[in-house]
Amino acid sequence: MRSFQTSTSPKFPSFLTVFFLFLSTSYAHNFLLRGSSLSVEDDSDILVSPDRTFSCGFYGMGQNAYWFSIWFTNSKDRTVVWMANRDRPANGRGSRVSLRGDGAMVLYDVDGSIIWETNTTSTDARMAELLDTGNLVIKGPGGEILWQSFDSPTDTLLPNQLFTKSTKLIARLHGGSYASGYFNFFFDNDNVLRLKYDGPDISSIYWPVPYLKMFENGRTNYNGSRIAVYDEMGHFVSSDWFQFIASDMGLLRIKRRLTMDHDGNLRLYSLNNDTGLWVISWEALAQLCTVHGVCGRNAICVNTPEPKCSCPPGYEITEPGNWNQGCKPLFNETLLQSQQVKFVELPHVDYFGFDLNFIESISIDSCMKLCVGDYRCKAFNYKLTGERRCYTKSELFNGYQSPSFEGKIYLKLPVTVETSQLAILNGTDPICQSDELETMIGSPSMYNINTKRMRWVYLYSFASAIGFIELLFVVSEGGEEHESDLTGFVRMVKSKIQCGEDSWIEEIVDPRLDGQFSRNQATTIVQLGISCVEEDRNKRPTMDLAIQALLEWQD
Protein backbone atom coordinates (compact mmCIF):
# COMPACT_ATOMS: atom_id res chain seq x y z
CA MET A 1 0.00 0.00 0.00
CA ARG A 2 2.97 2.20 0.53
CA SER A 3 3.28 2.69 -3.21
CA PHE A 4 0.22 4.91 -3.19
CA GLN A 5 1.51 7.12 -0.42
CA THR A 6 4.58 8.16 -2.35
CA SER A 7 4.14 10.43 -5.32
CA THR A 8 7.36 9.26 -6.94
CA SER A 9 6.88 6.74 -9.68
CA PRO A 10 9.59 4.10 -8.91
CA LYS A 11 7.31 2.21 -6.54
CA PHE A 12 4.59 1.87 -9.12
CA PRO A 13 6.24 -0.61 -11.51
CA SER A 14 7.16 -2.89 -8.62
CA PHE A 15 3.52 -2.94 -7.56
CA LEU A 16 2.53 -3.83 -11.12
CA THR A 17 5.14 -6.59 -11.29
CA VAL A 18 3.86 -8.10 -8.10
CA PHE A 19 0.33 -7.89 -9.43
CA PHE A 20 1.19 -9.68 -12.68
CA LEU A 21 3.28 -12.22 -10.86
CA PHE A 22 0.28 -12.98 -8.73
CA LEU A 23 -1.91 -13.27 -11.81
CA SER A 24 0.45 -15.55 -13.66
CA THR A 25 1.17 -17.87 -10.73
CA SER A 26 -2.45 -18.23 -9.79
CA TYR A 27 -3.28 -19.23 -13.36
CA ALA A 28 -0.26 -21.51 -13.86
CA HIS A 29 -1.14 -24.19 -16.41
CA ASN A 30 -0.22 -27.83 -16.35
CA PHE A 31 -0.03 -28.07 -20.14
CA LEU A 32 1.86 -26.65 -23.09
CA LEU A 33 0.04 -26.58 -26.41
CA ARG A 34 1.59 -27.52 -29.73
CA GLY A 35 3.32 -24.50 -31.20
CA SER A 36 4.07 -22.83 -27.86
CA SER A 37 7.20 -22.45 -25.72
CA LEU A 38 8.51 -21.85 -22.22
CA SER A 39 11.24 -19.22 -21.92
CA VAL A 40 14.20 -19.34 -19.54
CA GLU A 41 13.93 -15.63 -18.80
CA ASP A 42 10.40 -15.68 -17.47
CA ASP A 43 10.32 -17.15 -13.95
CA SER A 44 6.57 -17.61 -14.15
CA ASP A 45 6.84 -19.64 -17.37
CA ILE A 46 6.38 -23.00 -15.66
CA LEU A 47 3.88 -25.84 -15.71
CA VAL A 48 2.37 -26.83 -12.37
CA SER A 49 0.61 -30.16 -11.86
CA PRO A 50 -3.12 -29.89 -11.00
CA ASP A 51 -2.54 -30.69 -7.31
CA ARG A 52 0.54 -28.41 -7.34
CA THR A 53 2.91 -31.19 -6.16
CA PHE A 54 5.22 -30.86 -9.16
CA SER A 55 6.50 -27.97 -11.24
CA CYS A 56 8.20 -28.14 -14.61
CA GLY A 57 10.29 -25.51 -16.31
CA PHE A 58 13.79 -24.02 -16.28
CA TYR A 59 15.67 -24.77 -13.09
CA GLY A 60 18.70 -22.55 -12.52
CA MET A 61 21.85 -23.03 -10.52
CA GLY A 62 24.84 -20.75 -10.10
CA GLN A 63 25.37 -17.85 -12.45
CA ASN A 64 24.20 -19.06 -15.80
CA ALA A 65 23.24 -22.73 -15.85
CA TYR A 66 19.62 -23.77 -16.48
CA TRP A 67 18.06 -27.17 -17.02
CA PHE A 68 14.60 -28.05 -18.29
CA SER A 69 13.45 -29.97 -15.20
CA ILE A 70 10.65 -31.28 -13.02
CA TRP A 71 10.85 -30.56 -9.28
CA PHE A 72 8.80 -30.83 -6.09
CA THR A 73 7.03 -27.48 -5.75
CA ASN A 74 6.88 -27.53 -1.97
CA SER A 75 10.16 -29.08 -0.94
CA LYS A 76 12.39 -26.51 0.70
CA ASP A 77 15.15 -26.84 -1.86
CA ARG A 78 12.91 -27.46 -4.91
CA THR A 79 14.18 -31.04 -5.23
CA VAL A 80 14.65 -31.95 -8.88
CA VAL A 81 13.24 -35.33 -9.95
CA TRP A 82 13.91 -35.21 -13.67
CA MET A 83 16.09 -33.32 -16.12
CA ALA A 84 16.34 -33.16 -19.91
CA ASN A 85 20.03 -33.67 -20.76
CA ARG A 86 21.57 -33.04 -17.33
CA ASP A 87 25.05 -32.92 -18.87
CA ARG A 88 24.44 -29.81 -20.91
CA PRO A 89 22.88 -26.84 -19.10
CA ALA A 90 21.20 -24.10 -21.13
CA ASN A 91 22.09 -20.43 -21.14
CA GLY A 92 20.19 -18.12 -18.78
CA ARG A 93 19.24 -15.87 -21.69
CA GLY A 94 17.38 -16.80 -24.85
CA SER A 95 16.97 -20.51 -24.14
CA ARG A 96 13.54 -22.05 -24.57
CA VAL A 97 11.69 -25.31 -24.74
CA SER A 98 9.04 -25.69 -27.44
CA LEU A 99 6.43 -28.18 -28.44
CA ARG A 100 7.18 -27.66 -32.09
CA GLY A 101 4.75 -27.69 -34.98
CA ASP A 102 6.14 -31.06 -36.13
CA GLY A 103 5.21 -32.64 -32.77
CA ALA A 104 8.67 -32.81 -31.15
CA MET A 105 9.42 -31.21 -27.82
CA VAL A 106 12.77 -29.46 -28.21
CA LEU A 107 15.10 -27.63 -25.84
CA TYR A 108 17.03 -24.85 -27.61
CA ASP A 109 20.08 -23.05 -26.30
CA VAL A 110 20.50 -19.30 -26.85
CA ASP A 111 22.32 -19.88 -30.16
CA GLY A 112 19.51 -22.07 -31.47
CA SER A 113 21.43 -25.32 -31.01
CA ILE A 114 19.40 -28.29 -29.78
CA ILE A 115 20.26 -29.49 -26.27
CA TRP A 116 17.59 -32.15 -26.08
CA GLU A 117 14.53 -33.35 -28.02
CA THR A 118 11.85 -36.01 -27.83
CA ASN A 119 11.47 -38.56 -30.58
CA THR A 120 7.89 -37.45 -31.34
CA THR A 121 8.45 -35.75 -34.71
CA SER A 122 5.77 -36.46 -37.31
CA THR A 123 3.25 -37.47 -34.69
CA ASP A 124 -0.04 -35.71 -34.09
CA ALA A 125 1.09 -34.54 -30.64
CA ARG A 126 -1.42 -32.08 -29.24
CA MET A 127 0.13 -30.97 -25.99
CA ALA A 128 2.61 -31.68 -23.23
CA GLU A 129 1.05 -32.13 -19.81
CA LEU A 130 2.49 -32.35 -16.30
CA LEU A 131 0.57 -34.94 -14.28
CA ASP A 132 0.10 -35.16 -10.50
CA THR A 133 2.40 -38.20 -10.51
CA GLY A 134 5.33 -36.03 -11.65
CA ASN A 135 5.21 -37.50 -15.15
CA LEU A 136 5.53 -35.09 -18.08
CA VAL A 137 3.65 -36.61 -21.00
CA ILE A 138 3.12 -35.70 -24.64
CA LYS A 139 -0.39 -36.61 -25.66
CA GLY A 140 -2.06 -37.23 -29.00
CA PRO A 141 -5.58 -36.10 -29.98
CA GLY A 142 -7.22 -39.05 -28.21
CA GLY A 143 -5.20 -38.52 -25.03
CA GLU A 144 -2.83 -41.37 -25.88
CA ILE A 145 0.71 -40.98 -24.53
CA LEU A 146 3.33 -40.51 -27.27
CA TRP A 147 6.24 -39.81 -24.94
CA GLN A 148 6.72 -39.60 -21.15
CA SER A 149 9.50 -38.42 -18.86
CA PHE A 150 8.88 -41.54 -16.70
CA ASP A 151 10.64 -43.57 -19.43
CA SER A 152 13.91 -41.66 -19.01
CA PRO A 153 14.56 -41.10 -15.30
CA THR A 154 17.56 -39.08 -14.14
CA ASP A 155 18.54 -40.09 -10.59
CA THR A 156 15.07 -40.42 -9.09
CA LEU A 157 12.18 -42.88 -9.31
CA LEU A 158 8.73 -41.68 -8.20
CA PRO A 159 5.83 -43.79 -6.85
CA ASN A 160 4.17 -45.87 -9.62
CA GLN A 161 6.96 -45.06 -12.08
CA LEU A 162 7.99 -48.36 -13.68
CA PHE A 163 11.66 -49.26 -13.42
CA THR A 164 12.57 -51.52 -16.35
CA LYS A 165 15.40 -53.10 -18.26
CA SER A 166 15.75 -49.93 -20.31
CA THR A 167 15.88 -47.48 -17.41
CA LYS A 168 18.68 -46.61 -15.03
CA LEU A 169 19.17 -44.19 -12.15
CA ILE A 170 22.51 -42.38 -12.37
CA ALA A 171 23.69 -40.32 -9.41
CA ARG A 172 24.83 -36.72 -9.66
CA LEU A 173 28.59 -36.24 -9.87
CA HIS A 174 28.63 -34.41 -6.53
CA GLY A 175 26.32 -32.30 -4.43
CA GLY A 176 27.09 -29.11 -6.31
CA SER A 177 26.47 -30.56 -9.76
CA TYR A 178 23.65 -32.12 -11.75
CA ALA A 179 26.00 -33.81 -14.23
CA SER A 180 26.00 -37.62 -14.53
CA GLY A 181 28.16 -39.23 -11.87
CA TYR A 182 29.56 -42.70 -11.33
CA PHE A 183 26.98 -44.56 -9.23
CA ASN A 184 24.23 -46.52 -11.03
CA PHE A 185 21.09 -48.40 -10.05
CA PHE A 186 20.00 -50.77 -12.80
CA PHE A 187 18.82 -54.25 -13.86
CA ASP A 188 21.92 -56.25 -14.69
CA ASN A 189 22.14 -58.67 -17.64
CA ASP A 190 21.30 -61.56 -15.33
CA ASN A 191 17.96 -59.89 -14.35
CA VAL A 192 19.15 -58.75 -10.90
CA LEU A 193 18.85 -55.22 -9.53
CA ARG A 194 22.28 -53.89 -8.64
CA LEU A 195 24.26 -50.86 -7.54
CA LYS A 196 27.50 -50.28 -9.40
CA TYR A 197 30.36 -47.82 -9.28
CA ASP A 198 31.11 -47.13 -12.95
CA GLY A 199 34.06 -44.76 -12.81
CA PRO A 200 36.65 -43.61 -15.33
CA ASP A 201 39.16 -46.27 -14.22
CA ILE A 202 37.15 -49.22 -13.04
CA SER A 203 33.64 -50.47 -12.49
CA SER A 204 32.61 -52.53 -9.51
CA ILE A 205 29.32 -53.88 -8.19
CA TYR A 206 28.71 -53.36 -4.47
CA TRP A 207 25.03 -54.19 -3.90
CA PRO A 208 23.66 -56.70 -3.19
CA VAL A 209 26.70 -58.07 -1.28
CA PRO A 210 29.01 -59.02 -4.18
CA TYR A 211 30.68 -62.05 -2.58
CA LEU A 212 27.40 -63.76 -1.63
CA LYS A 213 25.48 -66.10 -3.89
CA MET A 214 22.22 -65.05 -5.53
CA PHE A 215 20.01 -66.92 -3.09
CA GLU A 216 22.03 -65.83 -0.07
CA ASN A 217 21.16 -62.30 -1.12
CA GLY A 218 17.49 -63.26 -1.40
CA ARG A 219 17.38 -62.73 -5.15
CA THR A 220 16.52 -64.77 -8.22
CA ASN A 221 17.74 -64.42 -11.78
CA TYR A 222 15.07 -66.68 -13.28
CA ASN A 223 12.45 -63.98 -13.85
CA GLY A 224 13.44 -62.16 -17.02
CA SER A 225 10.70 -59.51 -16.95
CA ARG A 226 13.06 -57.03 -15.21
CA ILE A 227 10.46 -54.78 -13.73
CA ALA A 228 10.28 -52.95 -10.39
CA VAL A 229 7.95 -50.39 -8.90
CA TYR A 230 6.88 -48.92 -5.55
CA ASP A 231 3.58 -47.49 -4.44
CA GLU A 232 2.56 -44.36 -2.49
CA MET A 233 2.43 -46.44 0.67
CA GLY A 234 6.16 -47.13 0.42
CA HIS A 235 6.20 -50.77 -0.72
CA PHE A 236 8.83 -51.62 -3.34
CA VAL A 237 8.73 -54.88 -5.34
CA SER A 238 11.00 -56.19 -8.07
CA SER A 239 10.90 -59.18 -10.42
CA ASP A 240 14.20 -60.46 -8.91
CA TRP A 241 12.36 -60.91 -5.56
CA PHE A 242 13.95 -57.87 -4.00
CA GLN A 243 11.49 -55.86 -1.96
CA PHE A 244 11.39 -53.42 0.91
CA ILE A 245 8.96 -51.30 2.87
CA ALA A 246 9.44 -47.71 4.00
CA SER A 247 9.83 -47.09 7.74
CA ASP A 248 6.69 -44.91 7.50
CA MET A 249 4.88 -47.48 5.33
CA GLY A 250 1.15 -47.08 4.92
CA LEU A 251 0.80 -43.32 5.28
CA LEU A 252 -0.86 -42.68 1.96
CA ARG A 253 -0.57 -38.96 1.43
CA ILE A 254 3.19 -38.81 1.97
CA LYS A 255 5.23 -37.61 -1.00
CA ARG A 256 8.08 -40.01 -1.70
CA ARG A 257 11.10 -40.30 -3.95
CA LEU A 258 13.70 -43.05 -4.47
CA THR A 259 17.03 -41.43 -5.33
CA MET A 260 20.42 -42.75 -6.38
CA ASP A 261 22.43 -40.36 -4.21
CA HIS A 262 25.82 -38.95 -5.17
CA ASP A 263 27.46 -40.72 -2.22
CA GLY A 264 26.60 -44.10 -3.81
CA ASN A 265 23.69 -45.03 -1.56
CA LEU A 266 20.16 -45.61 -2.83
CA ARG A 267 17.57 -44.00 -0.54
CA LEU A 268 13.83 -43.66 -0.24
CA TYR A 269 12.77 -40.27 1.14
CA SER A 270 9.53 -38.89 2.56
CA LEU A 271 8.66 -35.21 2.43
CA ASN A 272 7.82 -33.58 5.75
CA ASN A 273 4.81 -31.32 5.12
CA ASP A 274 5.75 -28.80 7.77
CA THR A 275 9.42 -28.26 7.15
CA GLY A 276 9.63 -29.06 3.44
CA LEU A 277 12.62 -31.28 4.26
CA TRP A 278 13.23 -34.88 3.26
CA VAL A 279 13.44 -37.72 5.75
CA ILE A 280 15.09 -41.06 4.91
CA SER A 281 12.60 -43.91 5.16
CA TRP A 282 14.79 -46.66 3.68
CA GLU A 283 18.37 -47.01 2.40
CA ALA A 284 20.19 -49.80 0.59
CA LEU A 285 23.44 -49.68 2.59
CA ALA A 286 23.76 -49.16 6.31
CA GLN A 287 27.44 -48.28 6.05
CA LEU A 288 28.71 -45.93 3.38
CA CYS A 289 32.16 -47.54 3.36
CA THR A 290 30.64 -50.56 1.60
CA VAL A 291 30.02 -48.34 -1.43
CA HIS A 292 32.73 -49.15 -3.95
CA GLY A 293 34.75 -46.28 -5.29
CA VAL A 294 33.59 -43.95 -2.52
CA CYS A 295 37.21 -43.04 -1.66
CA GLY A 296 38.85 -43.60 -5.06
CA ARG A 297 41.96 -45.49 -6.12
CA ASN A 298 44.38 -46.69 -3.39
CA ALA A 299 42.36 -44.98 -0.62
CA ILE A 300 40.84 -46.70 2.41
CA CYS A 301 37.39 -46.00 3.84
CA VAL A 302 37.11 -46.11 7.64
CA ASN A 303 33.89 -45.94 9.65
CA THR A 304 34.65 -43.67 12.60
CA PRO A 305 31.57 -44.25 12.71
CA GLU A 306 31.02 -41.65 9.98
CA PRO A 307 32.83 -42.76 6.86
CA LYS A 308 36.22 -41.12 6.39
CA CYS A 309 38.70 -41.59 3.57
CA SER A 310 42.42 -41.86 4.13
CA CYS A 311 45.55 -42.80 2.25
CA PRO A 312 47.74 -45.78 3.19
CA PRO A 313 51.41 -45.25 4.16
CA GLY A 314 53.52 -44.20 1.18
CA TYR A 315 50.54 -42.56 -0.54
CA GLU A 316 48.96 -39.11 -0.43
CA ILE A 317 45.67 -37.67 -1.60
CA THR A 318 45.78 -36.94 -5.35
CA GLU A 319 43.57 -33.89 -5.34
CA PRO A 320 42.98 -32.46 -1.86
CA GLY A 321 39.27 -32.20 -1.18
CA ASN A 322 38.29 -34.60 -3.97
CA TRP A 323 38.37 -38.26 -3.01
CA ASN A 324 37.08 -39.30 -6.46
CA GLN A 325 40.73 -39.11 -7.53
CA GLY A 326 41.92 -41.25 -4.60
CA CYS A 327 45.56 -41.40 -3.46
CA LYS A 328 48.77 -41.30 -5.48
CA PRO A 329 52.04 -43.05 -4.55
CA LEU A 330 54.80 -40.89 -3.06
CA PHE A 331 57.33 -43.06 -4.93
CA ASN A 332 58.08 -44.07 -8.50
CA GLU A 333 55.87 -47.11 -9.13
CA THR A 334 58.48 -48.80 -11.29
CA LEU A 335 60.40 -49.36 -8.03
CA LEU A 336 57.76 -51.94 -7.04
CA GLN A 337 59.09 -54.18 -9.83
CA SER A 338 62.51 -54.48 -8.21
CA GLN A 339 63.35 -56.89 -5.41
CA GLN A 340 64.09 -53.95 -3.08
CA VAL A 341 60.65 -53.89 -1.52
CA LYS A 342 59.17 -54.11 1.94
CA PHE A 343 55.66 -54.80 3.22
CA VAL A 344 53.62 -52.63 5.59
CA GLU A 345 50.82 -54.32 7.56
CA LEU A 346 47.34 -52.78 7.52
CA PRO A 347 45.26 -54.71 10.06
CA HIS A 348 41.50 -55.17 9.45
CA VAL A 349 41.87 -53.68 5.96
CA ASP A 350 40.85 -55.20 2.65
CA TYR A 351 40.88 -53.98 -0.93
CA PHE A 352 37.95 -55.76 -2.53
CA GLY A 353 38.47 -57.39 -5.95
CA PHE A 354 41.32 -57.20 -8.50
CA ASP A 355 42.88 -60.47 -7.31
CA LEU A 356 45.83 -61.77 -9.32
CA ASN A 357 45.86 -65.03 -7.39
CA PHE A 358 43.86 -66.84 -4.77
CA ILE A 359 45.60 -69.71 -2.96
CA GLU A 360 44.47 -71.60 0.13
CA SER A 361 46.59 -73.27 2.83
CA ILE A 362 49.75 -71.37 2.05
CA SER A 363 52.28 -69.81 4.44
CA ILE A 364 52.57 -66.05 4.70
CA ASP A 365 56.17 -66.28 3.44
CA SER A 366 55.09 -68.05 0.26
CA CYS A 367 52.31 -65.51 -0.25
CA MET A 368 54.81 -62.68 0.14
CA LYS A 369 57.20 -64.31 -2.34
CA LEU A 370 54.36 -64.59 -4.81
CA CYS A 371 53.81 -60.84 -4.57
CA VAL A 372 57.50 -59.94 -4.73
CA GLY A 373 57.91 -62.13 -7.81
CA ASP A 374 54.99 -60.59 -9.68
CA TYR A 375 55.64 -57.09 -11.00
CA ARG A 376 51.88 -56.44 -11.17
CA CYS A 377 51.39 -57.14 -7.45
CA LYS A 378 50.82 -54.03 -5.30
CA ALA A 379 49.74 -55.76 -2.09
CA PHE A 380 48.43 -59.04 -0.78
CA ASN A 381 45.70 -59.98 1.62
CA TYR A 382 46.45 -62.76 4.09
CA LYS A 383 44.64 -64.32 7.01
CA LEU A 384 46.88 -66.14 9.49
CA THR A 385 44.08 -68.19 11.02
CA GLY A 386 41.65 -70.70 9.47
CA GLU A 387 42.12 -71.41 5.77
CA ARG A 388 45.27 -69.22 5.55
CA ARG A 389 44.12 -67.65 2.29
CA CYS A 390 46.40 -65.58 0.12
CA TYR A 391 45.09 -63.04 -2.38
CA THR A 392 47.55 -60.97 -4.40
CA LYS A 393 46.22 -57.65 -5.71
CA SER A 394 46.89 -55.89 -9.00
CA GLU A 395 44.87 -52.79 -8.11
CA LEU A 396 44.08 -51.17 -4.80
CA PHE A 397 40.42 -50.23 -5.15
CA ASN A 398 37.48 -50.38 -2.74
CA GLY A 399 39.73 -50.12 0.33
CA TYR A 400 37.79 -50.64 3.53
CA GLN A 401 38.79 -50.95 7.17
CA SER A 402 36.46 -52.85 9.45
CA PRO A 403 37.04 -54.48 12.85
CA SER A 404 35.18 -57.50 11.49
CA PHE A 405 37.90 -58.21 8.89
CA GLU A 406 40.24 -60.76 10.39
CA GLY A 407 42.71 -60.54 7.54
CA LYS A 408 45.35 -57.93 6.86
CA ILE A 409 46.59 -56.11 3.82
CA TYR A 410 50.36 -56.28 3.32
CA LEU A 411 51.19 -53.24 1.25
CA LYS A 412 54.20 -53.49 -1.07
CA LEU A 413 56.46 -50.42 -0.92
CA PRO A 414 59.97 -49.65 -2.12
CA VAL A 415 62.42 -50.04 0.78
CA THR A 416 63.45 -46.42 0.31
CA VAL A 417 60.00 -45.14 1.33
CA GLU A 418 59.96 -44.14 4.97
CA THR A 419 56.88 -45.22 6.85
CA SER A 420 55.99 -45.30 10.48
CA GLN A 421 55.46 -48.77 11.92
CA LEU A 422 51.90 -48.01 12.84
CA ALA A 423 49.67 -46.80 10.06
CA ILE A 424 47.15 -44.28 11.36
CA LEU A 425 44.08 -44.12 9.21
CA ASN A 426 42.40 -40.87 10.22
CA GLY A 427 41.17 -39.08 7.14
CA THR A 428 38.48 -36.77 5.89
CA ASP A 429 34.89 -36.91 4.70
CA PRO A 430 34.47 -38.81 1.46
CA ILE A 431 31.58 -36.71 0.27
CA CYS A 432 31.68 -32.99 -0.12
CA GLN A 433 28.21 -31.81 0.82
CA SER A 434 27.58 -28.68 -1.13
CA ASP A 435 23.83 -28.89 -1.66
CA GLU A 436 22.99 -26.86 1.39
CA LEU A 437 24.95 -23.77 0.47
CA GLU A 438 23.17 -23.49 -2.82
CA THR A 439 19.86 -23.85 -1.06
CA MET A 440 20.71 -21.10 1.34
CA ILE A 441 21.94 -18.77 -1.33
CA GLY A 442 18.71 -19.31 -3.22
CA SER A 443 16.52 -18.39 -0.27
CA PRO A 444 15.63 -14.71 0.10
CA SER A 445 16.43 -14.46 3.80
CA MET A 446 19.95 -15.73 3.25
CA TYR A 447 20.42 -13.32 0.41
CA ASN A 448 19.62 -10.44 2.75
CA ILE A 449 21.97 -11.73 5.35
CA ASN A 450 24.64 -12.17 2.74
CA THR A 451 24.33 -8.69 1.37
CA LYS A 452 24.13 -7.19 4.84
CA ARG A 453 27.14 -9.04 6.19
CA MET A 454 29.23 -9.49 3.10
CA ARG A 455 29.42 -5.89 1.98
CA TRP A 456 33.09 -5.88 2.97
CA VAL A 457 34.01 -8.16 0.13
CA TYR A 458 33.58 -5.51 -2.51
CA LEU A 459 34.34 -2.44 -0.48
CA TYR A 460 38.08 -2.72 -0.64
CA SER A 461 38.49 -0.81 2.51
CA PHE A 462 40.39 -1.90 5.50
CA ALA A 463 37.85 -0.54 7.93
CA SER A 464 34.92 -2.42 6.49
CA ALA A 465 36.92 -5.64 6.56
CA ILE A 466 37.53 -5.22 10.26
CA GLY A 467 33.86 -4.45 10.61
CA PHE A 468 33.02 -7.82 9.14
CA ILE A 469 35.34 -9.70 11.43
CA GLU A 470 33.82 -7.91 14.37
CA LEU A 471 30.41 -8.95 13.17
CA LEU A 472 31.48 -12.57 12.98
CA PHE A 473 32.86 -12.26 16.50
CA VAL A 474 29.54 -10.94 17.67
CA VAL A 475 27.79 -13.84 16.02
CA SER A 476 30.16 -16.35 17.53
CA GLU A 477 29.39 -14.96 20.97
CA GLY A 478 25.75 -15.69 20.31
CA GLY A 479 24.35 -12.17 20.43
CA GLU A 480 22.80 -11.94 16.97
CA GLU A 481 19.24 -12.34 15.83
CA HIS A 482 20.17 -14.37 12.74
CA GLU A 483 22.80 -16.39 14.45
CA SER A 484 21.71 -19.76 13.14
CA ASP A 485 21.61 -18.53 9.56
CA LEU A 486 25.06 -17.05 9.73
CA THR A 487 26.68 -19.93 11.58
CA GLY A 488 25.05 -22.23 9.05
CA PHE A 489 26.54 -20.11 6.30
CA VAL A 490 29.99 -20.25 7.89
CA ARG A 491 29.73 -24.04 8.23
CA MET A 492 28.82 -24.39 4.57
CA VAL A 493 31.59 -22.16 3.28
CA LYS A 494 34.04 -24.06 5.46
CA SER A 495 32.97 -27.36 3.98
CA LYS A 496 33.27 -25.89 0.47
CA ILE A 497 36.80 -24.75 1.22
CA GLN A 498 37.66 -28.18 2.61
CA CYS A 499 36.21 -29.71 -0.51
CA GLY A 500 38.47 -27.54 -2.63
CA GLU A 501 35.57 -25.76 -4.33
CA ASP A 502 35.69 -22.07 -5.05
CA SER A 503 32.45 -21.54 -6.95
CA TRP A 504 30.95 -20.02 -3.78
CA ILE A 505 32.98 -16.83 -4.15
CA GLU A 506 30.85 -15.55 -7.02
CA GLU A 507 27.75 -16.56 -5.11
CA ILE A 508 28.38 -14.38 -2.09
CA VAL A 509 29.88 -11.33 -3.75
CA ASP A 510 27.36 -8.61 -4.54
CA PRO A 511 26.18 -9.08 -8.14
CA ARG A 512 26.25 -5.27 -8.61
CA LEU A 513 30.03 -5.54 -8.66
CA ASP A 514 29.64 -7.33 -12.00
CA GLY A 515 32.72 -9.47 -11.43
CA GLN A 516 34.97 -6.47 -10.68
CA PHE A 517 36.75 -7.90 -7.66
CA SER A 518 39.81 -9.98 -6.91
CA ARG A 519 39.04 -13.62 -6.21
CA ASN A 520 42.19 -14.03 -4.18
CA GLN A 521 41.41 -11.13 -1.91
CA ALA A 522 37.82 -12.24 -1.49
CA THR A 523 38.94 -15.78 -0.64
CA THR A 524 41.59 -14.63 1.82
CA ILE A 525 39.23 -12.43 3.71
CA VAL A 526 36.46 -15.01 3.89
CA GLN A 527 38.90 -17.62 5.16
CA LEU A 528 40.21 -15.17 7.70
CA GLY A 529 36.72 -14.29 8.83
CA ILE A 530 35.84 -17.94 9.18
CA SER A 531 38.95 -18.77 11.17
CA CYS A 532 37.88 -16.02 13.58
CA VAL A 533 34.73 -17.93 14.49
CA GLU A 534 36.35 -21.31 15.12
CA GLU A 535 34.59 -23.02 18.00
CA ASP A 536 37.95 -23.90 19.45
CA ARG A 537 39.26 -20.53 20.64
CA ASN A 538 42.85 -21.73 20.29
CA LYS A 539 42.33 -22.09 16.55
CA ARG A 540 41.27 -18.45 16.15
CA PRO A 541 43.93 -16.02 15.00
CA THR A 542 44.79 -13.16 17.35
CA MET A 543 43.60 -9.70 16.34
CA ASP A 544 47.23 -8.83 15.55
CA LEU A 545 47.54 -11.69 13.11
CA ALA A 546 44.21 -10.89 11.53
CA ILE A 547 45.17 -7.26 10.98
CA GLN A 548 48.50 -8.33 9.56
CA ALA A 549 46.82 -10.64 7.07
CA LEU A 550 44.48 -7.86 6.02
CA LEU A 551 47.35 -5.41 5.61
CA GLU A 552 49.12 -7.89 3.37
CA TRP A 553 46.37 -7.95 0.80
CA GLN A 554 45.90 -4.22 1.04
CA ASP A 555 49.32 -3.75 -0.61
Ligand X SMILES: *[C@@H]1O[C@H](CO)[C@@H](O)[C@H](O)[C@H]1NC(C)=O
In whole angstroms, give the CA distance from residue 552 to residue 555. 6
167 binds ligand X (CB under 6 A): no
Size of the site for ligand X (CB under 6 A): 17
Q: Which is nearer to ligand X, 334 or 421 (CB)?
A: 334
Q: What is the nearest approach in angstroms of ligand X to the Cβ of residue 134?
A: 16
Residue from 147, 185, 186, 351 that binds ligand X (CB under 6 A)?
147
Residue from 77, 117, 151, 395 that binds ligand X (CB under 6 A)?
151
Binding mask 218-237 for ligand X (x = CB under 6 A): -----x-x-x----------
Instruction: Give which of 169, 166, 199 is closest to 182, Cα–Cα.
Output: 199
Q: What is the nearest approach in angstroms of ligand X to the Cβ of residue 225?
A: 4
Residue from 3, 91, 152, 524 that binds ligand X (CB under 6 A)?
152
Q: What is the nearest approach in angstroms of ligand X to the Cβ of residue 154?
A: 13
Residue 508 is given by DSSP the state H
Binding mask 442-471 for ligand X (x = CB under 6 A): ------------------------------
Bridge partners, residue 197, by sequence: 183, 204
In whole angstroms, give the CA distance from residue 441 to residue 518. 21
In whole angstroms, give the CA distance from residue 538 to residue 137. 59
Residue 144 is given by DSSP the state -
Q: What is the nearest approach in angstroms of ligand X to the Cβ of residue 242?
A: 10
Q: Are 206 and 292 in contact (CB under 8 A)?
A: yes
Q: What is the nearest approach in angstroms of ligand X to the Cβ of residue 450?
A: 31
Instruction: Give which of 438, 477, 381 is closest to 78, Cα–Cα.
Output: 438
Q: Which is nearer to ligand X, 314 or 353 (CB)?
A: 314
Q: What is the nearest approach in angstroms of ligand X to the Cβ of residue 223?
A: 4
Cis? peptide before 403, omega within 30° of 0: no
Q: Which is nearer to ligand X, 239 or 401 (CB)?
A: 239
In whole angstroms, give the CA distance from residue 374 to residue 370. 6
> Near ligand X by CB under 6 A, which window of 57-65, 87-95, 97-105, 144-152?
144-152
Residue from 161, 239, 398, 476 that binds ligand X (CB under 6 A)?
239
Angle (CA) 296 204 382, round 5°: 80
Long-range contacts of 83-88 (CB under 8 A, 24+ apart): 83/59, 83/154, 83/178, 84/115, 84/116, 85/115, 85/116, 86/154, 86/172, 86/178, 86/179, 86/180, 87/179, 87/180, 88/115, 88/116
Q: What is the CA radius of gyration of the chain?
A: 28
* Contacts of ligand X in 93-122 (CB under 6 A): 119
In whole angstroms, give the CA distance from residue 230 to residue 363. 51
* Contacts of ligand X in 370-429 (CB under 6 A): 424, 426-428
* Contacts of ligand X in 304-343 (CB under 6 A): 332, 334
Q: What is the nearest approach in angstroms of ligand X to the Cβ of residue 499?
A: 14
> CB-hemisphere CA count at 13 Å for 217?
18
* Contacts of ligand X in 34-93 (CB under 6 A): none
Q: Which is nearer to ligand X, 407 or 427 (CB)?
A: 427
Cβ neighbors of 129 (< 8 A, separation 6 or more) are 30, 31, 32, 47, 136, 137, 138, 139
Binding mask 258-277 for ligand X (x = CB under 6 A): ---------------x----
Note the residues at the interface with ligand X (CB under 6 A).
119, 147, 151-152, 223, 225, 227, 239, 253-254, 273, 332, 334, 424, 426-428
